[in-house]
A and B are shown apart, each in its own frame.
Chain A
Amino acid sequence: MKKLLNSPDTYVDDMLSGLCAAYPSLVREQTRVVRSTDAPRKGKVGIVSGGGSGHLPLFTGYVGRGMIDSCAIGDVFAGPTVGACVMAIRAADGGKGVLRLYGNYGGDRMNFDLAGEMLADEGIETTTVLGTDDVASASPAESSKRRGVAGLIYAYKIAGAKAAGDASLEEVTRVAKKAVDHTRTIGVALSPCQIPGAATPTFTLAATEIEMGMGIHGEPGIWRDNMKPAVAIADEMTDRLLVERQTTNPRVSILLNSLGATPLEELFILYRRIAARLRDAELQIVQPLIGHWATSMEMAGVSLSLLFLDDELERLLAAPADCPFWRV
């Protein structure tokens, strides 16, 4: 597969160099750690995230004021090292504790957990909230096993806004967990991506096939079948999320995300139907977000996230933020 790179071994570091050169609000604290120039802020709860590369703008693109303070970055689709996690937590620490907010993946969990244990000896208090928004990855009864995908961005925004208001670590952790609990996501894949250095794509799909529920690393989904009209795909994705709605508040935010190769045109074709479907369900759309938010390099497909709002979540969602890929 053709890719614009110098070497698979320098793919991540070359990318991070370019990202930080393009956005002066981002600083490389160490090879694989990116910090906001605003962080750490004394007396403010820090928020750290991280994960494997290959998902820009997730994770690093959301480092900034009112969002996350620092990020630990791993190789493509691999967790960040323990050392990077330690450095990222330190970079976010303003003396009031640090929330570790990241997706529910084995490597990320092990390394952030180890880093937190190491820093406890230095007196840095940490808490953890895991993104678990992907409804296709486990049943509702096993929701704690679900993976974190694009919906994690909502948790960044909600927790980031709370932390900017000088809340305690306990309060920031609470709203981050609430945002995760109120967010549901499902994806559909049309074609695969390929990790730099790997000999084959992460999965195979016939030219006529799609896979509903596929994860952002090519994790298998719910079904694989022939391509369907956009309205059918939009209806199924929306309905699979609405069935898990647990609030009576009619306000909902929608994040319709390209997994990489799918163009805005197709996103808006889907959005037209999804918005109608939500109106039919007597829901009111707040702040629709449509574009590239959490990708898998050149994978074609989309994910749909819904954040079921209440007054607190809606207020925090609308609060000011300024990072390379989210401005309010």
Chain B
Amino acid sequence: MGLTAADLRVGIERISARINEIERELNAADAKLGDGDTGVMLRRVVEQLVATSSVAPDNVAGAFCAYAMTSSAATGSSLGTLITIALTTASRIAQSEQEVEWNGLGHLLDAVVEAMSKRGGAELGDKTILDGVSAAAHAVDGLSDPRDIRAAILEAAGRALFEYRDRPCRVGRARMFAERSVGLDDPGMLAFFHVMNAALGDSSEHRVPMSTAPAWASS
């Protein structure tokens, strides 16, 4: 067994159930580093993904492709386009398969990071969504049990957010006031954290690691 189109549908439904809360969180974070509308953008994309989920193909590659088309039509924002690129890349890696083997998820996420970097121009370490996805890719490497993968992704997304919070942003608008971005979460990394928690976690895990270091941060 592996990641299926049905899993994607369930994930989108779970994100949709939390999207208003996520929208507020992301708008608030983006207001400190950008123009305060990252949450609005993501909510609009998720609304369209929900509509697509009822007609998306049953094979995972086709489903990724359908969601990529939907995302590309819903937004042209930088983060939105990176989401489209991620979905397009996932579709390409899945290659017409019914499902993505669990032990192939790390390879898929690595390819997503590479594609987003190539198109968007950011590199690892710049404090962008790439760093969150890359952390998840490394965390699932070698894992094949979906319960372990779920836990690893959630832990990695939170760890990346925590580790990068006190670093300066090196690309995008925030690069121009890099020193002021220290201590703030990058909205793209935060979006990845919230979306993964909504899709994979439960409500008790849906929280941003705050100033007190989580247990794993000292390990």
Contact = CB atoms under 8 A, between A and B. Distances in A.
Interface stretch (B5-13, B30-38, B205-213): B30-38
B77 interface: yes
Contacts of B35: 77, 195, 198, 202, 217-218
A106 B172 contact: yes
B44 to A, nearest CB: 7
A269 interface: no
Contacts of A195: 35-37, 40
Q: Which of A72, A110, A202, A218 has the most CB of B within 10 A?
A: A110
A111 interface: yes
Contact of B78 (A79, A201, A215): A79
B27 A198 contact: yes
Contacts of B119: 110, 113-114
Interface residues of A, number: 36
A105 B119 CA distance: 13
A219 B80 CA distance: 20
B36 A82 contact: no
B73 interface: yes
Given A217-B173, A219-B176, A220-B177, A199 B76 contact: no
A199 B73 CA distance: 25
Interface in A71-92: 72, 74-85
Contacts of B111: none
Nearest to B35: A202
B81 A198 contact: no
B37 A83 contact: no
A236 interface: no
A52 to B, nearest CB: 8
B16 interface: no
Contacts of B77: 74-75, 78-79, 107
A83 B77 CA distance: 13
A137 B173 CA distance: 9
Given A9-B44, A78-B77, A200 B177 contact: no
B72 interface: yes
Interface in A170-214: 195, 197-202
Given A110-B81, A111-B81, A83 B40 contact: no
Interface in B153-178: 172-173, 176-177
Interface in A213-264: 215, 217-220
A219 B173 contact: yes
Contact of A106 (B40, B72, B121): B121
A113 B175 CA distance: 23
A271 to B, nearest CB: 29
Contact of B37 (A77, A82, A84, A110): A77
B184 interface: no
Interface of B: 24, 27-28, 31, 34-37, 40-41, 44, 72-78, 80-82, 84-85, 119-121, 172-173, 176-177, 180
4 pairs of A and B residues whose beta carbons are closest in the complex: A79-B76, A78-B77, A107-B78, A198-B36
Given A107-B78, A218-B35, 14 more contacts: A9-B44, A72-B76, A76-B37, A77-B37, A80-B76, A81-B76, A82-B72, A82-B76, A82-B84, A107-B76, A110-B85, A197-B37, A200-B36, A217-B173
Interface of A: 8-9, 72, 74-85, 105-108, 110-111, 113-114, 137, 195, 197-202, 215, 217-220
